[in-house]
Structure 1
Amino acid sequence: MNLQSRAFEANASIPPRYTCDGVDVSPPLSWDDPPPETRSFAIVTDDPDAPGRTFVHWVAYNLPPETRDLPEGVPLGDRLASGGVQGKNDFGKIGYGGPCPPSGTHRYFFKLYALDRVLDLKPGATKAELLQAIDGHILAESELVGRYARQR
């Protein structure tokens, strides 16, 4: 699988639009070539450069197997119109929360997982709960890394 965004190239700067310095909406994402056995997809976005621990910006799962993209600005809330649900980020909210590093340039890992099952997780699951649920069920994975430093 190949995860990409038309908003930024791999290892390049994430435009402010998708951060706390902008309108803080999720960037458009697309992917191709999942394994034919895929039953659902999951996405995790996190920042390993955050002070003290990896900071989670987005958790989404049970995206239908025919899904090949997510549009810009996925609405906040438990359920997605196209199917799937969202979990809780480390801002304490459901859905996407954009980059907002306190200092320096941070890396943001958008990780896509193709899974062999639909997960038995309620909306609002954390990254830890998601990772536990997908253990042993990952058919393929891909990641896209973007970078961001505050525009102060």
Structure 2
Amino acid sequence: MMSQHRRSTLAAASALALAGAALSGCGFIGAPQNKSAELAEWFTVTIPGFRDGRDLPTRLGCATYPGGEGKTPNLYWSGTPSGTKSYAIVVDDPDADNGAYVHWVIAGIGENVNQLVEGTKLDRTWVQGLNTGKQVGYKPPCPPKGERHRFRFTIYALNAGAPFANGAKLRDSLAAIAKHTIGRGRVTGNFGSKSSR
């Protein structure tokens, strides 16, 4: 009999497919639905004190790992395109067993904001959609012991305000972000323990 966790993960993967595709290497979280999205500009995203592609600080991981505090990272972005009205952030794990596992979907971040402080309390005007686990909110990196996964923190510059409501289904929030994307940037970090095999 298929476990509840596996059923939930497979259902979420199907939802992503219906939205247009899982998160892709080129930065889109669904099939672009307008010409400007296809030509979206890249901008710079950094985590101060961290080099892209390296190991994430332990405190950003889940409590299953010693020192894990589950904090959101200190994200900083610059060079966004003109016409940006708001930002959205999607955090995903492309190395999950059943395809990209989306850990966080948040939008409605104001056009004048260029940093998300580590562990920050969210502004009440921001909205969050469901993650792959069908929960609202940030799920910190927490790969199975013995596995090391990549975690992608992608910021999208949108040509509109928040394109979905709080608690939106994953496929709906991802499609809405894709529809309004005019720019995107990404930083990737590794987290987990190396296999003993």
1:100 aligns with 2:164: no
- 1:57 to partner: Cα distance: 1.0
Contact 2:127 2:164 in 1 (8 A): no
Which residue of structure 1 lines up, in the alignment, with residue 77 of structure 2? 31
1:17-61: per-residue Cα shift (whole Å, max 9, x none)? 001121111111010121120011111000010111211111110
Structure 1: tracts of 5 or more residues without a match: none
The amino acid that maps onto 1:143 is R
2:50 and 2:172 mapped to 1: Cα distance? 29
Contact 2:147 2:194 in 1 (8 A): no
Q: Which has the higher helix share?
A: 2
Contact 2:128 2:165 in 1 (8 A): no
1:9 aligned residue (28, 35, 51): 51
**TM-score of the superposed pair, with normalisation by structure 2:** 0.69
1:112 and 1:19 mapped to 2: Cα distance? 20
Write out the 4+ residue segments of structure 1 that deviate beyond 4 Å after TM superposition: none
2:178 and 2:164 mapped to 1: Cα distance? 13
Which aligned pairs between 1:1-152 and structure 2 lie closer than 5 A?
Answer: 1-20=43-62, 21=65, 22-75=68-121, 80-81=122-123, 83-102=125-144, 103-150=146-193
1:117-148: per-residue Cα shift (whole Å, max 9, x none)? 11341112244222211233211111111001
Contact 1:39 1:115 in 2 (8 A): yes
Which residue of structure 1 lines up, in the alignment, with residue 37 of structure 2? none
Number of positions where the alignment pairs a residue of Structure 1 with one of Structure 2: 148
From the CA coordinates, give the structure whose radius of gyration is larger: 2
Higher mean C-alpha deviation, range 88-97 or range 51-60: 88-97
1:69-113: per-residue Cα shift (whole Å, max 9, x none)? 0011134xxxx3274222222344322111111132101111111
2:53 and 2:151 mapped to 1: Cα distance? 9
**TM-score of the superposed pair, with normalisation by structure 1:** 0.88
Q: What's the C-alpha RMSD, in Å, of the aligned pairs?
A: 2.0
The amino acid that maps onto 1:107 is R
Q: Which has the higher strand share?
A: 1
Structure 2: tracts of 5 or more residues without a match: 1-42
